[in-house]
Amino acid sequence: MRSNFKGPHRLSRNRPEWQRISGGVAAARGFLASGVAAEIKKQGLDLAVVFSSRPSVACGVFTTNLVKAAPVLLSKKHLSRARGRIRAVLLNSGCANACTGRRGMAGAVRSARCLASHLGIDPYQVVVASTGVIGIALPIQKLLKGIPAAVAALSPDGWEAAARAIMTTDTREKTCAVEGRIGDRPVRIGGMAKGAGMIHPQMATMLSVITTDAAIPRPVLESVFRRVVERTFNCLTVDGDTSTNDMVLLIANGASDAKVEGAGSAYFEQGLEIVCEEMAKMVARDGEGATKFVEVLVDGASSVDQGRRVAKAIAHSPLVKTALYGQELNWGRIVAAAGCSGVRFNPDRVVLRLCGIPVFRNGMAVSSTQRRAEEALAAHDLQIHLDLAQGRASARIWTCDLSHGYIDINGSYIT
Amino acid sequence: MRSNFKGPHRLSRNRPEWQRISGGVAAARGFLASGVAAEIKKQGLDLAVVFSSRPSVACGVFTTNLVKAAPVLLSKKHLSRARGRIRAVLLNSGCANACTGRRGMAGAVRSARCLASHLGIDPYQVVVASTGVIGIALPIQKLLKGIPAAVAALSPDGWEAAARAIMTTDTREKTCAVEGRIGDRPVRIGGMAKGAGMIHPQMATMLSVITTDAAIPRPVLESVFRRVVERTFNCLTVDGDTSTNDMVLLIANGASDAKVEGAGSAYFEQGLEIVCEEMAKMVARDGEGATKFVEVLVDGASSVDQGRRVAKAIAHSPLVKTALYGQELNWGRIVAAAGCSGVRFNPDRVVLRLCGIPVFRNGMAVSSTQRRAEEALAAHDLQIHLDLAQGRASARIWTCDLSHGYIDINGSYIT
């Protein structure tokens, strides 16, 4: 599973390219979305609904944290009971409903039932997702009161409000949608995501809902989805903390009548990868307090897994991240972080490039380039590229710097 | 190897207690120390020597980082060649001499030779240690020029200057010494350490030199030393970054004529643990930008290793550390960090106490204590105590919070 660093947009010549369109999570036919203010947060939108007006299939990946929030536990159960035939997603910000015991679970159940009855579907066809502070009780009355308004507001234009309603420390909403063609039929894939903090790739990160009007059998949907999540959302880290509430959900309702099968599934996978990669990068770019977007690319690894371990060690190092924030060419910290990743390599053979400029080679500084590399650090988008000179595998991780802003946000998150 | 949370000071009744004394790394008889300014740093002391005026045995633990600085590589070689009969340590701050290629190694070799010739000992009997920025060339001429002055300044009173000379971002020197009795003879153990950043327990952390005038066979010295380092320095983390230069060295010269053997070795081990624990805590307390000293104690684990993994996951979480800095009772982050440590436990059975106050139990908040726990977070010394309710093993990690100060220091470390 070598990553494709040419970008996922290069398709075979016989196939139409995927085009960006607007519409986010409601770009695909037959999907409606809404975002309303239910007073769960002190101010602003905080309750979102995504609804497929037609029968659908869905699959999800969930946090691997042992401590799972009530909505995660409930949604996994519903996906399984409904055999993937999910029709609606209810999302709230302002409260994670995690570490809230039986009352938290009861609240999640009640909110799913309430939405189902307003939509005329089975409660098992509802996925619920919450994000916000851990350990505080779900304001269930406010949530239940908000549901009729959210259902009434459902429309193809509600996608921006929905994306705003799931934001916590995010500074901007994160949506992406594309349109392609399968056979002679247009197909759309779109989504929304929230991120910012407590972001680390462990099979699932943050909240994201992705919708498509492709007609795709559930087993194909699942395998495509897992591969794409692995290459996109799981290449993402902000602070190495894994949330109790992470969830990425993909719903396909077949409204385009375009059947994904055979070679079409590779084409569909490319479209899905564009959407997921774009949103994953948006999350890194909007990491809590981030002033830099950083791609860590490790080449020459003996396996993708080894490359990832090195890339993650670099992306998680507070010392690397603060140096990037300070725009300091302290590349020794990058080499040191790689050296304690647990992956064996020969430090004398590795080459480290910053924004394309070699700064470390033959076990020491490339002295002629230091000034130029220092200047390159002023850019917003940075690339750390380490060639381990060991094998042929590559891996990449998207992250951000560690700034005063992160401390500000997380030192006073509750108050 | 269950940790002793009653503290290491409780000795059996038949034995005299270890008493604190002054003198740091030169408290033990026959040891001299000095710290001078060799202009390796822009200002202040930056070159230290520790010397045993008598034949000695020594052992060391070194960084497990794959990328090892020249002085680490050279010192490991010298310890092996001299079969532990180390007589002197040369330490500099201001330059780590890491990622400096062949010239870096040549510089380390020359400096060891220079010190050896001034002291009239074999070059292999010299251990060298450097700390500071990675990747810049060692200012070897300045270092060589400083050595005669450092040798001339050697005295039993030079311990404070030596401890200051190895500081980088440390705000205060770190020394500790104790005196006990073996048989009818007084025995002393003392040391100095530097720490602050790039601190993570992986078999060795930071720079530390410990000396004793006990007469102790090298195999006993080694086994005692490894056990104590495991229980003290390896229970320490500031930022999870492992340095290229870490080293802890213990030198014993037998000047007290007190022989450590049989039951005496357990007594010696206790004294050594007092010194090492004290210095490890000093390092956490003086972590870069630290405003809080934090002990993470995990009880009820199924093994010490499992307990440690949980304790480290908590101690490494930027979200936990920033919440402590902000004095916010965001205990959900602690439970979430434990949940992604990879260790299995039942979240509904664990109990989390902050500074002794239960805040999470039965899978949810202990609502009656939240106000009191919030107030307790104002203290400088904090304890996070998580009972996993799984087994009987315990582990503890010492760390600090993550503050604006850390970002200030590490965003502008070079300039």
ipTM: 0.75
Q: For residues A372 and A273, state if they share a domain.
A: no
Q: For residues B333 and B264, state if they share a domain.
A: no
Give the total number of structural domains in chain A.
2
Residues 6+ apart with CB under 8 A from A228: A269, A272, A273, A276
Band of pLDDT at residue B133, cut at 50, 70 and 90? confident
B-chain residue closest to A321, CA distance: B411
B354 to chain A, minimum CA–CA distance in Å? 15
What CATH number corresponds to the domain at position A54?
3.60.70.12
pLDDT at B412 over 80: no
With an 8 Å Cβ cutoff, are A404 and B402 in contact? no
Residue B198 has a pLDDT of 65
Q: For residues A267 and A380, state if they share a domain.
A: no
pLDDT in tens, A233-290: 888 777 777 777 778 889 999 999 999 988 888 999 999 999 999 888 888 888 888 8
Q: For residues B61 and B97, state if they share a domain.
A: yes
Helices A101-119 and A70-81: crossing angle, nearest 10°? 50
Instruction: Spell out which residues of chain A touch residue B404, defining contact as CB-CB under 8 Å.
Output: 404, 407
Give the nearest partner residue to B319 out of A102, A241, A322, using CB atoms: A241
Q: For residues A270 and A332, state if they share a domain.
A: no
Q: Which of B193-197, B279-283, B314-318, B321-325 has the lowest mean pLDDT?
A: B193-197
Residue A203 has a pLDDT of 38
What are residue A396's DSSP bridge partners?
A297
Chain B neighbours among A 286-325 (CB < 8 Å)?
A: 316-319, 322-323, 325
Residue A4 has a pLDDT of 36
Range of the domain at A61: 19-279
pLDDT at B31 over 60: yes
Show which of B262, B283, B304 is a domain's final residue: B283
* Catalytically annotated residue among B205, B212, B232, B369: B205
pLDDT more than 70, % of chain A: 94
B142 to chain A, minimum CA–CA distance in Å? 21
pLDDT more than 70, % of chain B: 94
Q: For residues B77 and B157, state if they share a domain.
A: yes
Q: For residues A85 and A228, state if they share a domain.
A: yes
What CATH number corresponds to the domain at position B301?
3.10.20.340
Enter the DSSP assignment of B236.
B
Band of pLDDT at residue B5, cut at 50, 70 and 90? very low
Band of pLDDT at residue A198, cut at 50, 70 and 90? low
Closest to A398 (Cα-Cα) out of A279, A303, A289: A279
Q: For residues A190 and A318, state if they share a domain.
A: no
Q: Is A240 on the interface with B (CB under 8 A)?
A: yes
Residue B249 has a pLDDT of 86
Is residue A181 in some structural domain? yes
Instruction: Spell out which residues of chain B touch residue A203, defining contact as CB-CB under 8 Å.
Output: none
Q: What is the mean pLDDT of residues B82-91?
A: 94
Structure tokens at A48: 């979102």
Give the nearest partner residue to B99 out of A317, A335, A345, using CB atoms: A335
Q: SS3 of A112, please?
A: helix
Is residue A5 in some structural domain? no
With an 8 Å Cβ cutoff, are A135 and B364 in contact? yes
Residue B415 has a pLDDT of 60
pLDDT at B12 over 80: no
With an 8 Å Cβ cutoff, are B66 and A332 in contact? no
Chain A neighbours among B 60-119 (CB < 8 Å)?
A: 64-68, 96, 98-104
With an 8 Å Cβ cutoff, are A339 and B67 in contact? yes
pLDDT more than 90, % of chain A: 62
With an 8 Å Cβ cutoff, are B67 and A338 in contact? yes
pLDDT in tens, B198-247: 666 543 447 888 899 999 999 999 999 999 888 888 887 777 777 777 78
Band of pLDDT at residue B368, cut at 50, 70 and 90? very high
Is residue A1 in some structural domain? no
Give the nearest partner residue to A407 out of B66, B198, B325, using CB atoms: B325
Is residue B90 in some structural domain? yes
Residue B13 has a pLDDT of 52
Residue B405 has a pLDDT of 86
Is residue B6 in some structural domain? no
- Alpha-carbon gap, residue B93 to B91, rounded angstroms: 7
pLDDT in tens, B319-361: 899 999 999 888 988 998 898 888 999 988 999 999 999 999 9
Instruction: Spell out which residues of chain A touch residue B414, defining contact as CB-CB under 8 Å.
Output: 328-330
With an 8 Å Cβ cutoff, are B411 and A104 in contact? no
Band of pLDDT at residue A200, cut at 50, 70 and 90? low
Show which of B259, B283, B307 is a domain's final residue: B283
Q: In what order do the strands lie in the sheet with A381-387?
A: A364-365, A357-361, A351-354, A381-387, A293-301, A393-400
Q: For residues B313 and B358, state if they share a domain.
A: yes
Give the nearest partner residue to A319 out of B64, B202, B410, using CB atoms: B410
Q: For residues A83 and A201, state if they share a domain.
A: yes
- Establish whether B205 is a catalytic residue: yes
- Alpha-carbon gap, residue B327 to A303, rounded angstroms: 43
Q: For residues A160 and A259, state if they share a domain.
A: yes
Band of pLDDT at residue A205, cut at 50, 70 and 90? very low
Q: For residues A64 and A168, state if they share a domain.
A: yes
Is residue A12 in some structural domain? no
Residue A282 has a pLDDT of 87
pLDDT in tens, A277-320: 988 888 888 888 889 999 999 999 999 999 999 999 999 888 89
Residue A412 has a pLDDT of 78
Residue A271 has a pLDDT of 92
Q: What is the mean pLDDT of residues B134-138?
A: 88
Of A406 and A160, the one with more pLDDT: A160
With an 8 Å Cβ cutoff, are B99 and A402 in contact? no
Number of CB atoms found within 10 A of residue B275's CB: 30
Q: Is B378 on the interface with A (CB under 8 A)?
A: no
Q: Is A244 on the interface with B (CB under 8 A)?
A: yes
Q: What is the mean pLDDT of residues A62-67?
A: 81
Residue A65 has a pLDDT of 81
Is residue A184 in some structural domain? yes
pLDDT at B7 over 70: no
pLDDT at B10 over 80: no
Contact yes or no for A256/A215 (Cβ under 8 A): yes
Is residue B288 in some structural domain? no
- Alpha-carbon gap, residue A385 to A363, rounded angstroms: 16
Look over chain A and give the mean of its residue pLDDT values, rounded to a whole number: 88
A-chain residue closest to B136, CA distance: A365
Show which of A246, A279, A312 is a domain's final residue: A279
CA atoms within 13 Å, Cβ hemisphere of A204:
23
pLDDT at B138 over 60: yes
Q: Is A371 on the interface with B (CB under 8 A)?
A: no
pLDDT at A378 over 60: yes
